[in-house]
Structures are given as C-alpha cells and as structure tokens.
Amino acid sequence: MTRTPVNVTVTGAAGQIGYALLFRIASGHLLGADVPVNLRLLEIPQGLKAAEGTAMELDDCAFPLLRNITITADPAEGFNGANVALLVGARPRTAGMERGDLLAANGGIFGPQGKAINDNAADDIKVLVVGNPANTNALIAQRNAPDVPAERFTAMTRLDHNRAIAQLAKKAGVTVNDIKKLTIWGNHSATQYPDIFHAEVAGKNAAELIADQNWLEGDFIPTVAKRGAAIIDARGASSAASAANAAIDHVHTWVNGTAEGDWTSMGIVSDGSYGVPAGIISSFPVTTKDGKFEIVQGLEISDFSRARIDASVAELVEERDAVAELGLI
Ligand SMILES: NC(=O)C1=CN([C@@H]2O[C@H](COP(=O)(O)OP(=O)(O)OC[C@H]3O[C@@H](n4cnc5c(N)ncnc54)[C@H](O)[C@@H]3O)[C@@H](O)[C@H]2O)C=CC1
Ligand SMILES: O=C([O-])CC(=O)C(=O)O
C-alpha cells in the first residue's frame, strides 16, 4: 500500500541544525521507514540560496521516501498543509549568553509563525520548537494559534534528556540501553532539573544504586544543565548534530510511542500537574501512544526535587511575564 506523504516543515533550513536534520527526515528517521515525506523549507530571504543548495544535495541522495521539496520565505506557503513543523529558525547564543538573552532577538519570530500555522497547517499539525529560548518561544507560537489545540505545541528538552541518559550510563558503567525513566523538569535552560530519583539502571532505582549526593549535585546536574555552554566553548558554535538528533527523537517518539516501561521528556503546555502553573510550557515526564502524550502521574517528589522544579518553573513564569510585557502573547 502506498501511504500518503506527510508534509514536514523545517524553519531555519539553511542553518547548522537544519543541515544536520533534513537528510535524516528525508531518509525516514523522523516518522518511519515506510512514510514518504514532502519537505517545506522555510527561511528568511537571505537564507534561501543556501537552502536551495541543501535541496540540491537532498535531490542528489535519491532518497526513496522524499517526494518533493518546497523552498520559501513566505510562512503561509511554508506551513501550508503542514502535518509536522520543526521550528528551528532562530539566532543561536554565543559564549557568555544565557538562552533567555535571546528572547528579544528571537521572540518576534514565533508569533507570526504561530499565526501562519493557525491559518495554513493541516488539522493534525504537530509542532516542535527548537529555537531558543525554546519553551517560551513555543508558548508565543501556541498563543498565536488559537484554533490549534494547545497540546500540539511542544518545546525540545529531548537533548537534555539524552545528555542526562549518557551521563548516568557513564557513571553507572552501563550502556544507554539500560537507562529508563529519566526526567527533565522545567525549562531548557541552566535551571532545568534532570531527575534520577525515578530513573532505573538495568531495572534498579538509579539514585539508590549510585548513592552519591556529591556527584548528583556537583557533577551530574550541572554537567547536564550547562552542556550547551560547554559545547559552545569547545566547538565555537552551539550544538547542531546532537540537537538535530534530539529533534528526530522527539517527533519519532511523539508519533510512534514510548517503549513499554519507559517514558521521555517533552516541553508541553502544563495542565497544572506537579504544581506547575497551568498554561506555561514546561518539561515533564510523558508517555506517548498513537500520536498523543500523557504526563506520567503520581511520582513522589522529594524536597530536593521540589526546590529544583520550582526554581526552573519560576524562571518560566518570569519569561512568560516578560513576553506578555513585550506584547508577544
Ligand atoms: N532546544 C534545544 O535543545 C536547542 C536549541 N538550539 C537553538 O536552535 C536555533 C537554531 O540553531 P542553529 O541552526 O545552530 O542556528 P543557525 O544560525 O545556524 O541557523 C538558524 C537559521 O534560521 C534562519 N532563520 C532566522 N530567522 C528565521 C525566520 N524568521 N524564519 C525562518 N528561518 C529563520 C537563519 O537564516 C538561519 O539559516 C538557535 O536558537 C539555537 O539556540 C540549538 C541547540 C539545541
Ligand atoms: O546551549 C545552546 O545555546 C544551544 C542549546 O540549546 C543546547 O545545546 O542545549
């Protein structure tokens, strides 16, 4: 049976994440090895020529699943009929900046794109915001798309999730395959809280197995939370291939489901669970099935975890208030 192609829009297609992302979408890693895709590359006018070059290379791969490529600087055309939208296009930070410092530069991008999604995307649109500050940019896009169900707007904390899994696996001396139920709470920023208290290492509770509070507080949490800055310091540019990989993972898991006995982390519109104010876009532990996600409920939150979740959520509330002040939501 021939499946109907899925329309996937990528903004910032000519940027470094775009270059690492598009070839994997076209080769079937985003949605599945049997799902044909049409690519819509949305750029600003200055980025169109480079996007055309990338499209030439995509052609040259002769990907069996890639049906057609549209390149445009017009958001209405870029999001026309989109089933999946990856909002990557935004300025990256450089050394010495926090991601929140990008709010003024990037916030203005996401209102018009949210509106264009509202007016042009397919009814089943799923949106992942990657451009920083991702949670609050996702909030801006969501608030500008009143006809789209709020839960279709998500922000990427999967890179943090994957980073935390890698660090925990190293410490425990196991492979990443043995790590389950890791959670990133809060903002994709230095205040995020990577939580190992419910995580499992080969079926055993991670915090009890590691039993090393100094490592947890002095090494694991800051290493994960500040990894983006460490990459900028080492590479001279912000994470690209790992960010693209996380975007692929995020959407693949959303569409195809979490594994039995595991969950993932996604920035989603809070319903008030775990005391996170309803309406802000915060990272939670979620399970996914049939293209829908649910927050994992009933986890016991210790005082240690509570203080860290609250601090990150307080930052998200501040960011929400700042963009409200700027008239972006
Ligand atoms: N959530 C996460 O975990 C991560 C987020 N990021 C963020 O992703 C964003 C993109 O990073 P890079 O690809 O490295 O940046 P880049 O500078 O290489 O590429 C950005 C691209 O976006 C385009 N662009 C700018 N405004 C646009 C608009 N209004 N519409 C469409 N395209 C537009 C630019 O022309 C450029 O080609 C940055 O904000 C970065 O901080 C990066 C890594 C991880
Ligand atoms: O740190 C940055 O600016 C880029 C990013 O979001 C990450 O690598 O997590």
Domain ranges of the chain: 6-155, 158-319
User: Residues forming the annotated binding site for substrate?
Assistant: 93, 99, 132, 163
Residue 165's closest CA among 153, 146, 179? 179
> What's the mean pLDDT in 77-104?
93
Residue 295's closest CA among 256, 263, 317? 263
Longest dimension (CA), the chain: 56
User: Looking at residue 100, what is its pLDDT?
Assistant: 83
Residues 160 and 25: their CA atoms lie apart, in Å, by: 21
Protein fold of 158-319: L-2-Hydroxyisocaproate Dehydrogenase; Chain A, domain 2 (3.90.110)
Q: Is 188 a catalytic residue?
A: yes
Amino acid at 323: V
User: Looking at residue 105, what is its pLDDT?
Assistant: 85
Minimum CA distance residue for ligand 1 atom 19: 15
Q: Is 249 in the pocket of ligand 1 (CB under 6 A)?
A: no
Mutate to test the pocket of ligand 1, among 43, 156, 224 (most ligand atoms within 8 A of CB): 43
In this structure, are strands 281-289 and 264-269 parallel, antiparallel, or unpaired?
Answer: antiparallel
Distance between Cα 203 and ligand 2 center (Å): 31
Q: Which two tokens stand for residue 309?
A: 């979740």
> What's the mean pLDDT in 291-311?
98
Other C-beta atoms lying within 10 Å of the C-beta of residue 161: 26
Q: Is 245 in the pocket of ligand 2 (CB under 6 A)?
A: no
Q: Which two tokens stand for residue 7?
A: 């329309």
> What's the mean pLDDT in 61-68?
98
> What's the mean pLDDT in 49-77?
98
Where does the pLDDT of residue 185 fall: very low under 50, low under 70, confident under 90, or very high at 90 and above? very high
Pick the CATH number of 6-155 from 3.40.50.720, 3.30.930.10, 1.10.10.10, 3.40.350.10: 3.40.50.720
Q: Is 93 in the pocket of ligand 2 (CB under 6 A)?
A: yes
Percent of the chain with pLDDT over 70: 99
Active-site position among 188, 198, 250, 252: 188
Mutate to test the pocket of ligand 1, among 238, 239, 249 (most ligand atoms within 8 A of CB): 238
> What's the mean pLDDT in 237-241?
97
Residues 179 and 198: beta-carbon distance below 8 Å: no
Q: Is 144 in the pocket of ligand 1 (CB under 6 A)?
A: no
Residues 207 and 201: their CA atoms lie apart, in Å, by: 9
What's the ipTM? 0.99
Model confidence, pTM: 0.98
Q: Above 70 in pLDDT, residue 1? A: no
Q: Above 60 in pLDDT, residue 5? A: yes
